[in-house]
């Protein structure tokens, strides 16, 4: 009589690795990349005014920030795996709702898409901090960008091209990708994360960690880098296509340029090697300095739309360098005992930038043309360059450890 054995992959969940997390990031890249250039064009077609679009993004950003701050409290009531699943399903529902094409449907679809982004990002970050060693965080960030490169490279151009052919197609593809992301997540069986230690007392309100966060200069600096880097992406992804539309350039231009920018993600391993041969501080300062220069030049060349768009494209390449390096000062300064709460605070940079950028742009557009948003971005990145001087010069370098 033969002994029947349960397959190994069923008895033991596959060990989470940087490649597994990269796969999740890849599906998220397709989900979001397909629509990132479609939403500004679709909302401009529905609303017809950059000020109204800024107002919509501003209030959606406030809602996303509130949701992000509530995620840890929800995680006490809902297991993390189901919270992540809920976020993935929000991607699906939001895409299907936005496919209806009306102004209200697009706004509510963008609301769900924004909520899904912040929920899945918080859960994803917490899983990474649980399962990836500290010294591997730089490699994890690079592989995350590399795996997501295909979606972020093809998605924006394909999205606007399909939108011109049939407006519902990019939304359907995004919904299908988010379902695939959810299937990959369940295959990895990440559960609810690692249990570090048994709590001896009730966990404090995550909002109480804001004070502790504010007393740690390294965390504040890291959060500042993340917010300003994200504001730069907002200026490029949302306001550059609007600038192109207002100046008579092709409506597909924003999507194709964003795809060209994201093609540079394939060179992220080379950027990582360049950063490792120098330091995180040099990489962060170089990214902010060059980004500031090109955004400011985009403002100065606003009278020549094609030239302005070209230099904004150059600025976006340095935003990718910041995607690799600017998050590390925060991630490497987080204490293991504060992972969930600090991850929540850090993940709010998307929503903070989602409030600051359209809010300030709203004010700028009342007194200046769209190109004023580019000048504002250049000034903010120049300020981040100065703050980056406080980063430790050996941050991220490998240390010698005793043999086990």
Where do the structural domains in the chain lie, given as residue ranges? Answer: 15-192+205-390
pLDDT digits (tens, 9 = 90+) for 1-20: 444 554 544 444 555 666 67
Find where tokens 């006490």 sit: 76
Which pLDDT band, with edges at 50, 70 and 90, does 68 fall under?
A: confident
Average pLDDT of the residues in 241-268: 83
Of 251, 50, 102, 234, whose CA–CA distance to 163 is shortest? Answer: 251
Helix-strand-coil split of the chain, %, nearest 5: 80, 0, 20
pLDDT at residue 175 above 90?
yes
**263-278 mean pLDDT:** 76
pTM, full prediction:
0.75
Q: Which of 98, 371, 150, 177 is nearest to 263 (CA)?
A: 150
> Taking the mean position of all CA atoms in its chain, how far away is CA 94?
18
pLDDT at 302: 87
CA distance 364 to 366: 5
Tokens of 211: 């004070």
Which has more pLDDT, 110 or 395? 110
**What's the mean per-residue pLDDT of the chain?**
79
Total count of residues recorded for the chain: 404
Structure tokens, 123: 């859960």
Q: What is the pLDDT of residues 333-373, one digit of tens each?
A: 666 666 666 766 776 777 788 888 888 888 888 888 888 89
DSSP 3-state of 372 = helix
Give the pLDDT band (50/70/90) at residue 394. low
CB half-sphere exposure, 288, CA atoms < 13 A: 27
The top-scoring range by mean pLDDT among 23-37, 106-120, 329-343 is 106-120
**Angle between helix 349-367 and helix 217-234 axes, rounded to 10 deg:** 50
Please choose, from the candidates 295, 294, 151, the residue with its C-alpha nearest in 3D space to the C-alpha of residue 235.
295
The hierarchical CATH code for the domain 15-192+205-390 is 1.20.1250.20
**Span 269-286, average pLDDT:** 79
What b-and-e string marks burial along 213-243, b requiring 16 or more CB atoms within 10 Å of the CB?
beebebbbbbbbbbbbbbbbbbbbbbbbbbb
**What is the pLDDT at residue 335?**
67
Confidence of residue 282 (pLDDT cuts 50, 70, 90): confident
Of residues 169 and 153, more confidently modeled:
169
pLDDT at 82: 87
The pLDDT > 70 percentage for the chain reads 79
Percent of the chain with pLDDT over 90: 17
Torsion of CA 168, 172, 178, 180, to 10 degrees: -160
Give the whole-angstrom CA distance, residue 142 versus residue 77: 33
User: Taking the chain, what is the end-to-end CA distance rounded to the nearest angstrom?
Assistant: 44
Read off the pLDDT band of 96 (50, 70, 90). very high
Q: Of all helices (H) and strands (E), which one includes residue 188?
A: helix 169-188
Which of the residue ranges 6-15, 292-301, 377-386 would you say has the lowest mean pLDDT? Answer: 6-15
Q: List, for residues 183-221, the tens digit of each pLDDT value.
A: 888 887 766 655 433 444 444 455 566 777 777 777 788
pLDDT above 70 (res 104):
yes
Q: How far apart are CA 129 and CA 134, in angstroms?
A: 8
In this structure, of 83-97, 285-299, 313-327, the range with the lowest mean pLDDT score is 313-327
Question: Is the pLDDT score of 106 beyond 60?
Answer: yes
């Amino acid at each position: 009589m033969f002994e029947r054995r349960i397959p190994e992959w069923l008895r033991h969940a596959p060990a989470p690795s940087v490649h597994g997390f990269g796969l999740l990031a890849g599906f998220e890249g397709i989900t979001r990349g397909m629509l990132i250039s479609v939403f500004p064009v679709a909302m401009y077609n529905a609303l017809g005014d950059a000020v109204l679009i800024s107002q919509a993004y501003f209030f959606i950003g406030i809602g996303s920030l509130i949701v992000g701050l509530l995620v840890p409290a929800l995680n006490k009531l809902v297991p993390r795996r189901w919270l992540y699943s809920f976020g993935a399903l929000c991607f699906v529902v939001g895409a299907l709702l936005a496919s209806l094409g009306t102004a209200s449907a697009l706004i509510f679809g963008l609301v769900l898409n924004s909520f899904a982004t912040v929920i899945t990002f918080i859960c994803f970050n917490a899983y990474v901090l649980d399962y990836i060693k500290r010294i591997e965080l730089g490699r994890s960030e690079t592989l995350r960008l590399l795996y997501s490169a295909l979606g972020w490279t093809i998605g924006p151009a394909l999205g606007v091209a399909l939108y011109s052919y049939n407006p519902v197609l990019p939304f359907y593809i995004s919904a299908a990708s988010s379902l695939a992301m959810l299937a990959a997540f369940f295959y990895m069986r990440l559960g609810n994360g690692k249990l570090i230690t048994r709590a001896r007392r009730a966990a404090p309100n995550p909002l109480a960690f804001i004070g502790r966060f504010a007393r740690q200069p390294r965390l504040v600096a890291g959060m500042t880098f993340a917010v300003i880097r994200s504001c730069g992406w907002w200026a490029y992804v949302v306001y550059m296509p609007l600038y192109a539309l207002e100046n008579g350039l092709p409506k597909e231009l924003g999507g194709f340029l964003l795809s060209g920018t994201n093609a540079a993600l394939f060179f992220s391993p080379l950027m990582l090697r360049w950063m490792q041969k120098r330091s995180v501080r040099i990489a962060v300062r170089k990214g902010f300095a060059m980004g500031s220069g090109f955004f400011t030049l985009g403002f100065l060349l606003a009278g020549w739309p094609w030239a302005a768009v070209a230099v904004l494209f150059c600025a976006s390449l340095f935003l990718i360098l910041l995607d690799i390096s600017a998050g590390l000062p925060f991630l490497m300064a987080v204490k293991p005992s504060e992972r969930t709460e600090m991850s929540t605070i850090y993940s709010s940079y998307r929503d903070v930038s989602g409030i600051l950028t359209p809010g300030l742009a709203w004010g700028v557009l009342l007194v200046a043309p769209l190109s004023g948003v580019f000048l504002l971005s250049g000034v903010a990145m120049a300020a981040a360059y100065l703050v980056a001087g406080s980063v430790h010069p050996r941050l991220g370098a490998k240390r010698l450890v005793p043999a086990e």
